[in-house]
Structure 1
Amino acid sequence: MGSYRRGEQATMASVALAVALSFVCLGIDGVAADASNHRYKVGDAVPLYANKVGPFHNPSETYRYFDLPFCSPEHVKEKREALGEVLNGDRLVDAPYKLDFRVDHDSKLLCKSKLKKEDVVRFRNAIMKDYYFQMYYDDLPIWGFIGKADREGKDDPNEHKYYLYRHIHFEILYNNDRVIEINVHLDNNALVDVTEDLEVEFQFLYSVKWIGTSTPFEKRMDKYSQSSSLPHHLEIHWFSIINSCVTVLLLTGFLATILMRVLKNDFIKYAHDEETADDQEETGWKYIHGDVFRFPKYKSLFAACLGSGTQLFTLATFIFILALVGVFYPYNRGALFTALVVMYALTSGIAGYIATSFYSQLEGTNWVRNLLLTGCLFCGPLFLTFCFLNTVAIIYSATAALPFGTIVVIVLIWTLVTSPLLILGGIAGKNSKTEFQAPCRTTKYPREIPLLPWYRSTIPQMAMAGFLPFSAIYIELYYIFASVWGHRIYTIYSILFIVFIILLIVTAFITVALTYFQLAAEDHEWWWRSFLCGGSTGLFIYGYCLYYYYARSDMSGFMQTSFFFGYMACICYGFFLMLGSVGYRAALLFIRHIYRSIKCE
């Protein structure tokens, strides 16, 4: 939820070409605490920032800390934030609490507050929605609820009394000259009744207690890792993942064995036919050897899909590398957003090269239009979704609404880095002068595809192709969703990487198997079918979104619903393009192999 300075630096250092973006990032990067080395003397001021408030069950619906009538100072001092922090919805300001290093306070007055009727209503509505607050103390995140609901004293069990906490106790652990841990306790004996619409006058108080500890500074983030999205017993998680992967791999192995035996019989049969009766009519997948490499319809769109999918696959690979080397610290999601933006910009040249190179192999002529289509294929829907959701966030006055300066930075990254690299990659692809490698000659006129049963059509085949890869990852999806759309974190990236590899293997194999059955039925239009079957797992993931939202989460409200389904639609669309390109590549390698293994006139 926050941004840890060393993690942000490691993200930028891990990107080889990040120098191209340095002038942009330096203008917005301000992640570090005031004391960058995190060492303090007795009495030194330790940076404490108030971040945001919002409903606990709606992680996207957050507001600025002083949007509620707390003890707001006359001049709110905002903290400079990195790009990832802003994208994450963080809006850090100086908190009114004074927590100097190793200085205890039994009960210190924060401010005297007089709440008007409208302020009482706002606090009561916030307590009804389980509002929480978030702060950062020396880059350590802390949380607490602003109030509580109680049925005590009410005759009707459906009615509640609402209380506002007015005393916060900070318990801070230190080791020599460094802060190790901070905990927040809310005093249940110091409450303000905000049930009735009456003016209330009271005092906000806080207390501070410093306690020594032997925990080293390097392990102070372990506390958050232990309370991550994983179960309490890590072995249970590993067992469930291994069980799922073994089941899928066994099923995949059985199908692979069957497919290899069928192919072996086909090769023997076709070799026998060539020796005995050359004029005998051929049947099966060899019968369509003159059509199987006929270029697909809408080849510009197909090449753009392949280029965008390859770029997203490269992006995912680099993100996994950064995660596995320990770049993303707990509650350092700002670094993840920064890495996504930077890596997407730097990998745009791959999309341009793959798209135009493949488009040229398909004898396409309008490569400029193909390049524009490649650039807009994924970013276009993402941009439209962002415009709608950002407008919703502005209407709600939520922190998810990006400031104008951040939008300008993103536009500059797109204009100065993404677009030039896309164009350079497109020019390089156009000039690569490679030809499509087809082991068989294509006939002048296509053969008619025989009438096939309904289950061999595109949609049923996509359903069969997406189910098996989805079954390999659905256990892990819950933990990922609880991290992205909740307050938990994900720390065991090794498990996620293993699941990702299994996903790629199963997607490639199931696409190859379905492509073989399609060719065996003498249906030679496999190009788009292989891409759609490979990417169909993205549709299953979006279907899981419906299940998660209504059955596993407590999210509600128009803003949270639109953010969840809007951005998940973009993520699943990205998975569709990425896995579709994997499925097509696997099918192409398979088809080239089998047609090289037979004699085609």
Structure 2
Amino acid sequence: MRLQILLIYLICIIVSSIVLVESSNKHHFKENDEVPFYVNNVGPYSNPTETYEFYTLPFCKPSSISYKKTKLGEILQGDSAVLSDYQFPFKNQEDYGWKLVHGDVFRFPPYKNVFSAFYGIGWQFISIVCGILALSLFGMFYPNNGGNMYTAGIVLYALTSGISGYQSAKMYKNMGGNKWAWNIVLTATLFVAPLFIVVILSNTVAITWHSTVALPILTMIEVITIWLFVGFPLTVVGGIAGRRLSENFEAPCRTKNFPREVPPIQWYRRLPCQILIAGFLPFSAIYIELFYIFNSVWGHSTYTLYGILCLVFLILINVTVCITVALTYFQLSMEDHKWWWNSFINGGSTVVFIYMYSIYYYYYISHMYGLLQATFYFTYMLIVCFFFFILLGTVGFYSSLIFVKRIYRNLKSD
């Protein structure tokens, strides 16, 4: 019985203490309400226990002194707070920075068809790279295997064309587009057309030089046939599925009828400088591995460390996500709501440094020379960089989209 009484007594003490603390910490003010400002003790800086009341000093002493009701802890601490004559009206915090553009941040970018096509192809390229890395980890690509990796790349590109069509049509529908035929054509040819031009140019030079690297006409017809009868139809099927199955774009904030004017931005915060920052950091994480990859592709070395390659690819993706999201936040903080294309370009800007490294590798590391080799090297490196620009740009934009939705959803709940 005594134990029960002690427990009840202890619980009452704890509850009363919690209520007392909570009641002392609740302060609710309305607009222009006076916020009381108290001044505490003063004393020598070197003697923390030698304290005196604030108004013992002959400065700005009020006509009447009103002491603050002190709690036990404050008394034990030696506090002696006095209400001052300073007046502080309460003001609600106004929106600033990225909060001011909530009515424009989900305004769709210009060239919606091209943007949607890039976005869809980016998801296809992510699937291709993941597929090739998975096959490499399972030991499908071994030294002197007769170009199985190139064959796998062509087959995976054809089979994953439905992904690009679906994602492109889904994004295009979210943006309110209505030129569906043009969207499918762009998605199917935005990468294939430049690749075809590069192949024709390089093959022409190789034939002129009577080189065995020139592709036979039957091989080119075989590759084109795979694209025409597998890749393109799957793109159309994916586009139809994306148009019919995708839902409406869910924006946490309603877009205003008239766009907000973007204030002047300093030169070092504009897109060219952002490209340098966004591209250098991911490149610095992979440039060591690039040396071994270049030696394998453009030299006579053999690359077999596919586990390390997977790790480097994951690091590249993570760094791209982090730096693109950070730059998107900085852009919105400057009240610049045109982040869609910027996030895509910033995400893919690593290829600028990759192509610069390829130039350095050609002239200062390798021993390549001649028109034939230079044509093949620089044109195909341009296509490779275009490939990774679309891939990393999609990663950067998608991560920024998730981030922007999250912060403005929280703003709406506030």
Query: By the TM > 0.5 criterion, same fold?
Result: yes
**Which residue does 2:368 correspond to in 1?**
555
Q: CA RMSD in A?
A: 1.6
Question: Any idea what SS the aligned residue of 2:245 has?
Answer: coil
Question: Any idea what SS the aligned residue of 1:497 has?
Answer: helix
TM-score w.r.t. length of structure 1: 0.53
Task: Give the Cα separation in 2 of the matches to 1:403 and 1:463.
Answer: 41
Change (3 A) 1:362 1:574: same
Given the alignment, which residue of 236, 247, 250 partners 1:437?
250
Deviation at 1:282, TM superposition (A): 2.0
Task: Give the Cα separation in 2 of the matches to 1:277 and 1:323.
Answer: 62
In the TM superposition, 1:358-369 aligns within 5 A as 358-369=171-182
Moved more, 306-315 or 503-512: 306-315
Question: In the alignment, is the contact (CA less than 8 A) between 2:252 and 2:412 conserved in 1?
Answer: no
In the TM superposition, 1:414-563 aligns within 5 A as 414-563=227-376
**Which residue does 1:286 correspond to in 2?**
99
TM-score w.r.t. length of structure 2: 0.77
Question: In the alignment, is the contact (CA less than 8 A) between 1:393 and 1:559 conserved in 2?
Answer: yes
Question: Any idea what SS the aligned residue of 1:431 has?
Answer: helix
**Which residue does 1:370 correspond to in 2?**
183
**Which residue does 1:409 correspond to in 2?**
222
**Which residue does 2:380 correspond to in 1?**
567
Task: Give the Cα separation in 2 of the matches to 1:298 and 1:456.
Answer: 24
**Over 3 Å off, 4+ runs:** 275-278
Deviation at 1:333, TM superposition (A): 4.9
Answering whether residue 161 of structure 2 is matched by residue 320 of structure 1, we say no
**Which residue does 1:394 correspond to in 2?**
207
State the one-letter code of the partner of 1:319: I
* C-alpha distance after superposition, 1:345-372 (max 9, x if no partner): 1011101110011101100000110110
State the one-letter code of the partner of 2:145: N
Given the alignment, which residue of 387, 390, 394 partners 1:577?
390
Which of the pair is proportionally richer in helix? 2
* C-alpha distance after superposition, 1:472-510 (max 9, x if no partner): 000000000000001111001001110000000000010
Change (3 A) 1:497 1:430: same
Q: Which has the larger radius of gyration?
A: 2
Deviation at 1:430, TM superposition (A): 1.1
Question: Any idea what SS the aligned residue of 2:368 has?
Answer: coil
Task: Give the Cα separation in 1 of the matches to 2:231 and 2:306.
Answer: 28
Deviation at 1:599, TM superposition (A): 2.8
State the one-letter code of the partner of 1:474: Y
Question: Any idea what SS the aligned residue of 2:369 has?
Answer: coil
State the one-letter code of the partner of 1:511: T
Task: Give the Cα separation in 2 of the matches to 1:432 and 1:438.
Answer: 18
Question: Any idea what SS the aligned residue of 1:329 has?
Answer: coil
Given the alignment, which residue of 586, 592, 600 partners 2:399?
586
**Which residue does 1:71 correspond to in 2?**
none
Task: Give the Cα separation in 1 of the matches to 2:327 and 2:201.
Answer: 38
Deviation at 1:532, TM superposition (A): 0.2
Deviation at 1:322, TM superposition (A): 0.2
**Which residue does 1:347 correspond to in 2?**
160
Change (3 A) 1:433 1:328: closer
Gaps of 5+ in 2: 1-29, 34-89
* C-alpha distance after superposition, 1:89-147 (max 9, x if no partner): xxxxxxxxxxxxxxxxxxxxxxxxxxxxxxxxxxxxxxxxxxxxxxxxxxxxxxxxxxx
Question: In the alignment, is the contact (CA less than 8 A) between 1:290 and 1:443 conserved in 2?
Answer: yes
Question: In the alignment, is the contact (CA less than 8 A) between 1:311 and 1:351 conserved in 2?
Answer: yes
Deviation at 1:319, TM superposition (A): 0.2
Question: In the alignment, is the contact (CA less than 8 A) between 1:466 and 1:537 conserved in 2?
Answer: yes
Question: Any idea what SS the aligned residue of 1:436 has?
Answer: coil
Question: In the alignment, is the contact (CA less than 8 A) between 1:440 and 1:600 conserved in 2?
Answer: no
State the one-letter code of the partner of 1:343: L
State the one-letter code of the partner of 1:301: V
Answering whether residue 111 of structure 2 is matched by residue 298 of structure 1, we say yes
Question: Any idea what SS the aligned residue of 1:491 has?
Answer: coil
Question: Any idea what SS the aligned residue of 2:192 has?
Answer: helix
**Which residue does 1:357 correspond to in 2?**
170
Deviation at 1:281, TM superposition (A): 4.3
Deviation at 1:315, TM superposition (A): 0.3
Task: Give the Cα separation in 1 of the matches to 2:341 and 2:91.
Answer: 35
Question: In the alignment, is the contact (CA less than 8 A) between 2:253 and 2:412 conserved in 1?
Answer: no
Gaps of 5+ in 1: 1-271
Task: Give the Cα separation in 2 of the matches to 1:449 and 1:309.
Answer: 29
In the TM superposition, 1:29-428 aligns within 5 A as 281-428=94-241
Deviation at 1:433, TM superposition (A): 3.9
Deviation at 1:447, TM superposition (A): 0.6
